[in-house]
Each structure stands twice: as C-alpha cells, then as structure tokens.
Structure 1
Amino acid sequence: MRILWKGFPAQTAIGLAATLVHWQVFFVLTSAAQLDQAASNFAAFCIAASFAFYMNALYTFETGTSVLAYLMFIGVMGALSYGTGVIADARNLPGLITVSGFSLLDLLLGYCFFRFVLFREPRT
C-alpha cells in the first residue's frame, strides 16, 4: 500500500498547478478566442498535461518513460477532454461545468495513468 502513495504529495501539488493552467487556458480560449468548449478543453488539456508530465518527470518519479507511453496518455486523456467538451457544447453547459467535470475525471484517471503506466516502477 505504501508504494501506491509514493510521490503522491508532489504529484498532487503538480496536479493542482496543472489544473490551474488548464482552467486559465480554457477560459482564455473560450472567451478571448471564441473557440467552442471541445477545442478549448482539448487544447488546454494538452498544454496542462505537457506541463504536468515534465514536472513529474523532473521532481516526482525516479524512473523514465517512453515517448510512446506519453503519446498514449495524451491520446486517451485528450479524447476524453474533447468528448467532455463536445457533450458540454451539445447541452449548452457553462464552461465552469466543463472544466470542473473534466478536472475530476483527470484527477482520478490521470493519477492512475501517471503512476501505473507512464512512471511505473520497474519489476525486479
């Protein structure tokens, strides 16, 4: 059980910073650039995920990862971010609902993906 929580405090701080980046980019793209929520959420996710990946690689996990694993993460979670935006656009939901809902999904699924796929401990 201890291994499950290894690096959790650092990853939590990085995750909160990445969430702040995501929300800021999302609201700039929907407000200033007049993009729809799907495109804004996807672009904001890609920027925030790149930030989180880089910071976690530097400060949280001792193991490396592959470019393929990172692209898989961006692909899966990016599709989820875009899908969340499509649903919000179709239902005319406020942007706050879109980023809040996706942030919760990203918190749960993103941690598991980072911990068990991207930066998993090598088997001995």
Structure 2
Amino acid sequence: MPLFGNRRRQHREVPTYIGRKFSSRAGVEESIAHFRSAITQQLGTEPEFFTAEWTGPDPAPVTVIGAVPPGTAPAARRQATSYLALWPDGGMHFVAPDYAVRPTPPLVGMWKMRDASLASTGSVEADEFGVGGR
C-alpha cells in the first residue's frame, strides 16, 4: 500500500459570482436615487431604467431596478442589463453583466460619494439572484 494512500477527492462546485452585495442605512428610495445617479455618471448618459420581476429565492426584495445602456439592441438587452435588488433592511444585490471582468465597477466609488453608509458585504452567487421578464 502506498504511503499516502489513494483518497477520493470530494468534488465541490465552485460558486459562480455575478455581483456584489451591499448594505446602506439610506432608505430604499434614497438608495435607488443614488444608484441612478452613479450609474448615469459611470455611463456618461442616462440608461433606460425599469422595474424587474423577482424570481430568486425568498425573501423577495422590496424592488428590483434594471438599467440598460441607451441604444442597446433588443437582442442584446438581457446580456447588457445591470440590476439592483433592494431589501427593507438596507441589504442590496448589484448584478452587472461585466462582473467577471470588473468586480468593482467605477460606479461603486461614485455611489459611496453620495451615500457614506454604503458598505460592501460580499459577493452575489448565481443561485441567490433571479429576475424575469425583459
């Protein structure tokens, strides 16, 4: 028998991260206003904002805001949309299409300039987030 034996390796799936978790002491409406301002500043022009339907796990957020850069072709809308889900306790999930490339987009700094209580609390796993429609 070999000295180190032949142990079976347990296969664990590596989580797929799609966004950032934040918390803020600002209310839901104020957080939405800060997000709108910061993403508009990052893009250099105001995106199209819409409300998305939550299909993720419970508890459901109070609201989910989607933002699509202006002029995005209809076929590319789903892949180009950023989402912000907001819970009443100040928790937020920000999911961006380019998260794998830019886990900390410039809008985070712009957002913190508007809301000093904004704090990163982790990463959003793919199975923690779901939206329908659009």
Question: Do these two structures clear the TM 0.5 threshold for a shared fold by scoring above it?
Answer: no
Q: Which has the larger radius of gyration?
A: 2
Return the structure number with greater helix share: 1
TM-score (norm 1): 0.30
- Judging by fraction of residues, say which structure has more strand: 2
> Bigger relative contact order, structure 1 or 2, given CA contacts below 8 A and separation 6+?
2
